[in-house]
Amino acid sequence: MDRQITSFIRALRSSDVRVSTGEALDAVRAVAMVGYADRALLKDTLGCVLAKSPDEKVTFDELFDVYFSRKDTTTESAGASEQSQEESSGATAKNTPQNLVELMESGDETAIATAIEKAASAAEVDDIRFSTQVAYYAQQMVKQMGGESLQARLLDALSQHTDEGEAEAERLIEMRRDLTMRARERTQRAFDVFGKGETRQFREDYAASKRLSALDRSDMERMKVLVAKIAKRLAVKHSRRRKKKSRGQLDVRRTMRANAGMDGVPFNVIWRQKKRERPKIVVVCDVSGSVAQYVRFLLLLLWSMKDVVPDLHAFAFSGRLYDVDEYLEDKPFEEAMAEIMRVAGLGSTSYGQAWSDLKVDHEQLIDRRTTLMVMGDGRSNYGDPRTDLFRDFASRAKRTIWLNPEGPGLWGTGDSEILRYRPYCNQMSHVATLKDLERAVDDVLSAYN
């Protein structure tokens, strides 16, 4: 019986629910306490031992239903097969390949289900990883069940060239079709339980390292989920401690106060604590055509982390610079993005204009705890890049980070002014994929530790 639990846990793990060995042991012990008989009770029990967050609960519920609906037939048939094995060795012959035709003819559903399960475990169907393998594993199963002997009988019947032969062949073809269908069903279920998670993981890894500009519409939904995951990961990492103990510096006032009750004898010493600064980010985005797609993801990621970075200000420009916080706060993200593109996306790109707008209207936002993030390719249509203003901002800010969707090979070519801004940035990095973005934002937040 423990085998069922361990195999269910394997299925959970492949769907992103992390189950430790300790929890697996707990699950076995818990099930020993409540038993298998009551399905709802089993679900409650395993749920509270194995799924430890709302996300995991959802996955658990889905998987439990799929997995144990399958086990409905197998527990029955597994029991039956064990019994038959115990009874006599002759009984097992019932399931040998030679008798496949008789087995199918008998219409004994339990026996067929047993045979299917046996073939499935012999063909190691539960190792399935990708949906493209379904056909292969189904074929392997049929082979295990003695599909070849069926094939032989079929050929035999056809070569007789008689009416009876034809009828026999037709019957056998029908039988083969039925068998294949059952095998496919079994394989598909195995994929649903064990393979889906793996496929998703693979897809996500692939999507995270794909060039953002190369994404098409169909990828957008998946990418959003991915961005949310990244945001959560970063939020957990950076929302941790706010205070840092700095040992070695005595807080005299608080120590005296705390020990007043002990006649001023300093039993408890209190050390000064350094408060961690809250991150403050000002992000300036070039939303001209070539960069817009990257900006979309940067803003999506940053806005998903609003809890960790409450002090977040976004500006978009191509010609003039616009404050876009309002749109992002009031509207669903897609609508906000469309609005931003409509307002800010139409001018001809001028970095000089953007800097002077920032200087005039929002200079006070940039102070010594601000990280100034710029997302853009630095292509300014041969206008004045106003590096003097940019230098000013950079010297006021805590750090200045430039994210460039263009590869370093293109920097400084044509109308790119990027190399003239570079000396004033703490860091200038090439950002092409979601992974790059994650690294960049992680880096910005780490500077506040």
Site string for other proteins, 212-251 (x = CB under 8 A): ------------------------x--xxx----------
- Of 39-47, 136-144, 410-418, 434-442, the window that binds other proteins (rule: CB under 8 A) is 39-47
Site for other proteins (CB under 8 A): which residue of 4, 7, 10, 26?
26
DSSP secondary structure string, 173-211?
A: HHHHHHHHHHHHHHHHHHIIIIIHHHHHHHHHHHHHTS-
What minimum distance in Å lies between the beta carbon of 326 and other proteins?
19
- Please report, for the chain, how many H helices and E strands are present, in that order: 20, 8
Distance CA 189, CA 342 (A): 47
**Are the C-beta atoms of residues 324 and 333 closer than 8 Å to each other?**
no
Is 241 or 368 the residue whose CB approaches other proteins more closely?
Answer: 241
Structure tokens at 272: 């000064």
Distance CA 325, CA 347 (A): 20
Structure tokens at 446: 């780490």
- β-pairing, 271-275 vs 311-317, is unpaired
Is 5 or 100 the residue whose CB approaches other proteins more closely?
Answer: 5
Is 1 or 419 the residue whose CB approaches other proteins more closely?
Answer: 1
Distance CA 98, CA 407 (A): 65
Is 161 or 243 the residue whose CB approaches other proteins more closely?
Answer: 243
Specify the length of the chain in residues. Answer: 449
Site string for other proteins, 360-389 (x = CB under 8 A): ------------------------------
What minimum distance in Å lies between the beta carbon of 232 and other proteins?
8
Name the phi and psi angles at 284, rounded to 5. Answer: -110, 120
Phi-psi region of 262 (alpha: psi -120 to 50; beta: other; left: phi over 0): alpha
Is 64 or 390 the residue whose CB approaches other proteins more closely?
Answer: 64
Query: Does residue 93 interact with other proteins by CB under 8 A?
Result: no
What minimum distance in Å lies between the beta carbon of 278 and other proteins?
15
Instruction: Find the binding residues for other proteins in span 44-83 (CB under 8 A).
Output: 44-45, 47-49, 51-54, 57
Site for other proteins (CB under 8 A): which residue of 40, 161, 216, 253?
40
Binding site for other proteins (CB under 8 A): 18, 20, 22-23, 26, 29-30, 33-34, 40-41, 44-45, 47-49, 51-54, 57, 236, 239-241, 261-263, 265, 267
